[in-house]
């Protein structure tokens, strides 16, 4: 398939509204990115044969040469730049349409969202080039792909463990090493090129409400669902795939109690949520205070020391059991301090910040630094309206085994699907596993199924036991969009 043919299809939502206005510099950057991506896609097409494999053995390919891998990585970087331009164009276009209506909306970014858009069959993505018409299928997300934030650091498993029949370009296409540890960027680049190839364009914003047409009210367009973005604009859609991940960064009580300090630190880039930016903006040689003890905290500390900063981790678990061993070894080699305790207070201290820490024995101490990275996990933050829905398991067969691949919302009277599905890590969050809302039919069976699938002997050892892993999304999302025979 030629680059010009990809993602092309009829648009919906009104007549041609014209190209979103960009500055001459932005338009030039977009055109340059388009040309680089098209040239690189031609190189990749010489390597990739066919589309739509039906099982994992058809996905696996020979490793690229280092030269091929670098050419594809350059293409992916250009695709990311192009995505930013096209996202801005989509935003400007939607702002001019009073009641934008599409066939399919994917909520989220990252692996599950990319695979959802790439494998859905309801509508075409955006045509190549400037976004002049509203595509039939779009995405909405408030934050970038997490794997881009992690960059080139290795993530613990061979790149072949992240393959999916839903990818147009596999993570292994961007790395000549198929036996050592993959880089986060390998996954990010597979997402970026698959998004480009499937015409995925993303409206920047947070989905704050999802409503179903009940029949008791009248909407300006005929459709089943509408999504509110940032509590303002409504987007109307026939189908919705929610792949919002594990949620928004968790707020830390020490900063909740000091709102003016938090505002000041965030405005100067000295306080960050590690899920969105690994480390704050501090000078070379200065200390980053990292609150948390999991894998993200380890990656934040790794980012700090690799860029000439110092790092101190404050955590209740000084063993850093959630940090991959190879990352822990690097932190040890750089002399990263790990302090046990719970941060209970934050205050300004000269040009930096001072944290008050309480130990298990109730003694306390203070630690200071130039900036703070919060790596304390994520809190599910479902859009309004989802809590009132009723869901059931969506099941498919794989290698002779039945598995749960998604949750689908159903009509409480007819018991029929309504066109809303939950994909990826989102369905492994407490809201769906524990309830009480949203209501999930046979919840105990659902929870057991997720556990069983995550611990199956077919799962790569380093992904085993992790329900919201890439491995699970890579299998489940494409299967959920297949039409059973």
Query: Where residue 27 falls among pLDDT bands split at 50, 70, 90?
Result: low
Q: Could you give the residue range(s) of every CATH 3.50.50.60 domain in the chain? A: 1-247+380-485, 250-377
Cα separation, 164 vs 167, in Å, equals 6
pTM for the model: 0.81
What does residue 259 show for φ and ψ, rounded to 5 degrees? -60, -35
Question: Tokens representing 12?
Answer: 């919906």
Spell out the long-range contacts of 308-311 with Cβ–Cβ below 8 A and sequence spacing 24 or more: 308/284, 309/279, 309/282, 309/284, 309/285, 310/285, 310/286, 310/336, 311/287, 311/336, 311/337
Query: Where residue 60 falls among pLDDT bands split at 50, 70, 90?
Result: low
Task: Choose among 310, 361, 357: nearest CA to 337.
Answer: 310
Give the chain's largest Cα–Cα span: 68
Kindly report, residue by residue over 349-383, the tens digit of the pLDDT.
878 899 999 999 999 999 999 999 999 988 878 99
Sheet-wide strand order for 371-374: 271-273, 371-374, 287-291, 310-315, 337-340
Task: Choose among 157, 156, 398, 430: nearest CA to 299.
Answer: 156
CATH match of 1-247+380-485 with 3.50.50.60: yes
Kindly report, residue by residue over 137-175, the tens digit of the pLDDT.
999 999 889 899 888 888 878 999 999 999 999 999 999
Cα separation, 338 vs 321, in Å, equals 12
Mean pLDDT of 470-482: 93
Kindly report, residue by residue over 254-304, the tens digit of the pLDDT.
999 999 999 999 999 999 999 889 999 999 999 999 999 988 899 999 999
Cα separation, 179 vs 233, in Å, equals 47
Mean pLDDT of 228-252: 93
Q: Which CATH number fits domain 250-377: 3.30.70.260, 3.50.50.60, 1.10.760.10, 3.40.50.300?
A: 3.50.50.60
Rounded to whole angstroms, what are the CA distances from 455 to 112, 472, 480?
A: 20, 11, 20
Instruction: Look over the chain and give the mean of its residue pLDDT values, rounded to a whole number.
Output: 87
Q: Which residues of 337-357 are buried (b: 16+ CB within 10 A; e: fewer)?
A: ebbebbbebbeeeeebbebbb
| pLDDT score at 58 | 46
């Amino acid at each position: 398939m030629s680059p010009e043919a990809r993602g092309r299809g009829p648009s919906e939502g009104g007549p041609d509204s014209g190209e979103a206005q960009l500055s001459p510099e932005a338009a030039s950057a977009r055109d340059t990115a388009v040309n680089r991506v098209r040239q690189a896609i031609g190189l990749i097409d010489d390597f990739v044969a066919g589309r739509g494999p039906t099982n994992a053995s058809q996905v696996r390919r020979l490793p690229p040469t280092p030269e091929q891998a670098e050419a594809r990585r350059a293409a992916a970087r250009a695709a990311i730049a192009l995505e930013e331009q096209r996202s801005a164009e989509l935003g400007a276009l939607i702002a001019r349409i009073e009641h934008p209506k599409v066939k399919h909306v994917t909520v989220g970014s990252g692996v599950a969202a990319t695979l959802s858009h790439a494998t859905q069959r309801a509508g075409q993505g955006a045509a190549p080039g400037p976004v002049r018409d509203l595509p039939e299928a779009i995405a909405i997300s408030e934050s970038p792909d997490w794997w881009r934030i992690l960059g080139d650091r290795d993530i613990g498993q061979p790149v072949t463990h992240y393959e999916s029949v839903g990818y147009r370009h596999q993570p292994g296409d961007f790395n000549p090493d198929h036996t050592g540890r993959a880089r986060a960027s390998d996954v990010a680049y597979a997402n970026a090129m698959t998004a480009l190839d499937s015409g995925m364009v993303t409206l920047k914003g947070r989905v704050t409400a999802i409503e179903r047409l009940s029949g008791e009210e009248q909407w300006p367009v005929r459709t089943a669902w509408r999504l509110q973005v940032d509590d303002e604009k409504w987007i109307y859609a026939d189908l919705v795939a929610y792949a919002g991940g594990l949620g928004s960064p968790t707020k830390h009580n020490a900063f909740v109690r000091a709102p003016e300090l938090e505002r000041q630190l965030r405005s100067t880039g000295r306080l960050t949520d590690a899920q969105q930016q690994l480390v704050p903006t501090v000078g070379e040689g200065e200390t980053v205070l990292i609150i948390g003890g999991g894998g993200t905290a380890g990656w934040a500390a790794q980012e700090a020391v690799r860029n000439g900063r110092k790092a101190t981790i404050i955590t209740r678990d000084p063993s850093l059991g959630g940090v991959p061993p190879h990352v822990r070894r690097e932190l040890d080699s750089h002399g990263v301090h790990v302090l046990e305790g719970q941060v209970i207070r934050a205050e300004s201290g000269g040009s930096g910040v001072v944290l008050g820490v309480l130990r298990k024995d109730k003694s306390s101490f203070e630690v200071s630094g130039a900036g703070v990275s919060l790596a304390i996990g994520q809190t599910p933050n479902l859009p309004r309206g989802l809590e009132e829905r009723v869901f059931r398991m969506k099941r498919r067969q794989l290698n002779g085994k039945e598995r749960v691949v998604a949750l689908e919302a159903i009509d409480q009277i007819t018991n029929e699907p309504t066109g809303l599905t939950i994909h990826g890590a989102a369905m492994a969050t407490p809201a769906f596993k524990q309830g009480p809302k949203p209501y999930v039919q046979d919840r105990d069976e659902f929870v057991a199924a997720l556990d069983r699938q995550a611990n199956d002997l077919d799962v790569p050892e380093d992904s085993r036991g992790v329900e919201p892993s890439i491995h699970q999304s890579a299998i489940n999302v494409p299967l959920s969009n297949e039409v059973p025979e």
